[in-house]
Amino acid sequence: MKLTDEERAMLAGEFGQPCKWAIEHMMQVGRLFDAEDFVPVSQAHMMADPESLGDAGVRFLEEQAAGGGRVRIPMITDPRGVDLSYYKELGQTEDMANLERRTIAACGKLGILMTDTCINYQTIMPPVRGDHVAFGDTGVVIYCNSVLGAYSNFEGGPSALAAGLTGRTPRYGLHLDAKRRGTRRFVVRHQPRGLTDWGILGGIVGRASGSYWQVPVIEGIEHAPSSDDMKHLGAAMASYGSTPLFHIVGVTPEAPMLAAVFDGTPPPATEITETDYRDFQGSFGGRGEKVDVVVFAAPQLSLIEMSRVAELLDGRHIHADTAMIVCTSPPVAADCDRLGLTARIEASGAKVLRGTCFYQQYAREMGEANGWRRLLSNSTKIVNIIGGYGYQPSLASMEACVDSAVAGEIV
């Protein structure tokens, strides 16, 4: 790879051992993907929950911090594995909490801002069109690429840390304009209504695309989606298809018209009908069955979603045999406290978790500790993931999820 003078100095160890490790790591990644050089990045976002890191990963972070490592650009974090104010009630152990505390301490020494969120684009400092960043969480990446027009690949934990320590990432994949052109084409014949429909649309498109290197282009959307709509669309698409970028004609910034995102004649289109939506949701089933836990997470909820959950729960109580978990970011949680939304939600018996996401916080162990098996959510992403943690997931709208939590069974 071609290196600048500054990058050669990093490689020679002039910026310390952690930076030397980081540039060497990024060079290996770059060679794997035939990158010719590095691109400077303005932000890094790292997935580093302790469940994924394990003790070895946390010790690595501690070693980098002890070696004088310090990030060179603003660097933030994905949801954590433990809400330290709630872990005992959820059946999480002291060992889990201690690993969380060690991670927080190590990241603090490295200069990493513990934002603990996968909705940083709704809460902190969203990148702008053409901005090169090194982001981790798949939902973060697909939103920032598609909706904001920023440039990022999916960065694994070590690569995101290396990007933070160097301010660089290899120039390959979606950092190249040529890789952002459309490769698949879909026409929507049934308009999505509500967050769950947007998630289902993302699941359908992602499943049909099925590759990191496919760029789906969607036509037929008749009204401007909200930020939350796009959040659920992208998170589901990335979950089902490993998709990091999509275009919606007339909506997303790189697709003002169909011809803008295809080279030459566009490929034949795949139609998405109302039947496709019904078939997708129907595959989860569970109606009439006892529900153990209702989850609003993956992605974390915006202030608007939190307000809606509070409205739906006002004056109602969660069934004694059902739990409800609501996950949001620390900044949104602070606003919810200030506006009284947290108190309204928790008056029903639900729990508001700050800076965590359900499937990243030892979901299997929590399920075993609490006897949870049947899980209901309005998130298409989480119902795709959570089966691997021993749950039986079902998918429903936010309104139906709340009604089910009150009834104790899926309505």
CATH code for the domain of 76: 3.30.499.10
pLDDT at position 128, please?
97
pLDDT-derived band at 26, boundaries 50, 70, 90: very high
- The amino acid that residue 379 corresponds to is S
Q: What is the mean pLDDT of the chain?
A: 97
Least confident interval from 36-45, 194-203, 279-288, 386-395: 279-288
Number of folded domains in the chain?
A: 3
Is the pLDDT score of 103 beyond 90?
A: yes
pLDDT at position 286, please?
84
Average pLDDT over residues 194-199: 97
Is the pLDDT score of 272 beyond 90?
A: yes
Which run of H or of E encompasses 383? helix 380-385
CA distance 344 to 313: 7
- The answer on 168 and 149 residing in a single domain is yes
Q: Which residues partner with 75 through β-bridges? A: 44
Average pLDDT over residues 278-307: 95
- The answer on 328 and 256 residing in a single domain is no
Beta strands 168-170 and 38-40 are antiparallel
Task: Output the six-digit token pair for 276.
Answer: 């496709």
Q: Domain boundary residue among 251, 281, 311?
A: 281
Any idea of the CA torsion for 352, 353, 358, 360, to the nearest 10 degrees? 170
Is the pLDDT score of 80 beyond 90?
A: yes
pLDDT at position 145, please?
98
- The answer on 304 and 391 residing in a single domain is yes
- The answer on 165 and 110 residing in a single domain is yes
Residue-wise pLDDT tens digits, 296-309: 999 999 999 999 99
Q: Residue 100's domain spans which residues?
A: 5-177
- The answer on 239 and 111 residing in a single domain is no
- The answer on 12 and 128 residing in a single domain is yes
Is the pLDDT score of 285 beyond 90?
A: no
Residue-wise pLDDT tens digits, 359-410: 999 999 999 999 999 999 999 999 999 999 999 999 999 999 999 999 999 9
- The answer on 235 and 96 residing in a single domain is no
pLDDT at position 338, please?
98
CA distance 169 to 154: 11
CA distances from 105 to 45, 71, 97, 108, 357 (A): 17, 15, 12, 5, 20
Residue-wise pLDDT tens digits, 227-253: 999 999 999 999 999 999 999 999 999
Residue-wise pLDDT tens digits, 155-190: 999 999 999 999 999 999 999 999 999 999 999 999
Average pLDDT over residues 291-318: 98
- The answer on 346 and 297 residing in a single domain is yes
pLDDT at position 48, please?
86
